[in-house]
Amino acid sequence: MSHWNTSLATKLHAALVSREERWIRRRLPDPNTSSSGSPLIDFNSNDYLSLSASPALRSRFLRKLDAAPDILGSGGSRLLVNGRAHSAFEARLCNFFGSEAALLFNSGFDANVGFFSCIPQPGDAIIYDEYIHASVHDGIRASRVRDAQYSFSHNSIASLRQVLAKLLNERPGVRSGANSVFIAVESLYSMDGTFSPLSEITDLLEKTFPQRNGYLIVDEAHATGIYGPQGRGRVADLGLESKVLARLHTFGKALAATGAVVLTNTLIRDYLLNYARSLIYTTSLSYANIVAADCSFDMLTDGTAEELASDLLEVSTHFTDYLRPRLAHIPPELLSLPSHLSEASVAPPSPIIPLMTLHPRPLSAYLLALGMNARPITWPTVPKGKDRVRVCLHAGNTVADVEKLAQGAIRWAEETMAARKKEVQRDGQRFEESKL
- 3-state DSSP assignment of residue 353: strand
Strand-strand pairing, 260-264 and 101-105: antiparallel
Element (H, E) at 285: none
Concatenating the DSSP letter of every residue in 200-263 gives HHHHHHHHH-TTS-EEEEEE-TTTTTTSSGGG--HHHHTT-GGG-SEEEEESSSTTSS--EEEE
Applying CB under 6 A, the span of 28-36, 88-96, 108-116, 369-377 interacting with ligand PLP comes to: 108-116
Considering the complex, state which of residue 117 and residue 416 has its C-beta at the smaller distance from ligand PLP: 117
Nearest approach, Cβ of residue 152 and ligand PLP (Å)? 17
Nearest approach, Cβ of residue 260 and ligand PLP (Å)? 5
Concatenating the DSSP letter of every residue in 391-429 gives EE--TT--HHHHHHHHHHHHHHHHHHHHHHHHHHHHHHH
Q: Which amino acid is at 72?
A: L
Binding mask 142-171 for ligand PLP (x = CB under 6 A): ------------------------------
| CA 178 – CA 182 distance, rounded (Å) | 13
Element (H, E) at 73: none
Distance of CA 354 to the CA centre of its chain: 13
Considering the complex, state which of residue 117 and residue 336 has its C-beta at the smaller distance from ligand PLP: 117
Q: Residue from 50, 179, 190, 208 that binds ligand PLP (CB under 6 A)? A: 190
Q: Residue from 133, 232, 234, 269 that binds ligand PLP (CB under 6 A)? A: 133
What stretches of 52-100 adopt beta strand conformation (E)? Answer: none
Nearest approach, Cβ of residue 407 and ligand PLP (Å)? 29
| CA 429 – CA 436 distance, rounded (Å) | 11
Report 16-55 residues binding ligand PLP (CB under 6 A). none
Q: What is the largest CA-CA distance in the chain?
A: 88
| CA 63 – CA 67 distance, rounded (Å) | 6
Binding mask 248-277 for ligand PLP (x = CB under 6 A): --x-x-------x-----------------
Q: Does 296 sit near ligand PLP (CB under 6 A)?
A: no
| CA 181 – CA 293 distance, rounded (Å) | 33
Q: Are 424 and 388 in contact (CB under 8 A)?
A: no
Applying CB under 6 A, the span of 85-93, 122-130, 153-161, 216-224 interacting with ligand PLP comes to: 216-224
Other C-beta atoms closer than 10 Å to the C-beta of 142 total 14
Considering the complex, state which of residue 216 and residue 409 has its C-beta at the smaller distance from ligand PLP: 216
Nearest approach, Cβ of residue 251 and ligand PLP (Å)? 7
- Radius of gyration for the chain, computed over Cα atoms and rounded to the nearest angstrom: 24
Nearest approach, Cβ of residue 219 and ligand PLP (Å)? 5
Q: Residue from 42, 47, 192, 219 that binds ligand PLP (CB under 6 A)? A: 219
Q: In what order do the strands lie in the sheet with 388-392?
A: 352-356, 388-392, 375-377
Considering the complex, state which of residue 109 and residue 209 has its C-beta at the smaller distance from ligand PLP: 109
Strand-strand pairing, 125-129 and 149-152: parallel
Q: Does 107 sit near ligand PLP (CB under 6 A)?
A: yes
Report 369-428 residues binding ligand PLP (CB under 6 A). none
Applying CB under 6 A, the span of 215-223, 297-305, 315-323, 361-369 interacting with ligand PLP comes to: 215-223
Q: Does 179 sit near ligand PLP (CB under 6 A)?
A: no
Q: Residue from 43, 85, 103, 108 that binds ligand PLP (CB under 6 A)? A: 108
Q: Are 378 and 304 in contact (CB under 8 A)?
A: no
Nearest approach, Cβ of residue 276 and ligand PLP (Å)? 14
Considering the complex, state which of residue 221 and residue 334 has its C-beta at the smaller distance from ligand PLP: 221
Judged by the rule CB under 6 A, the positions of this chain that interact with ligand PLP are: 107-109, 112, 133, 135, 186, 190, 219, 221-222, 250, 252, 260
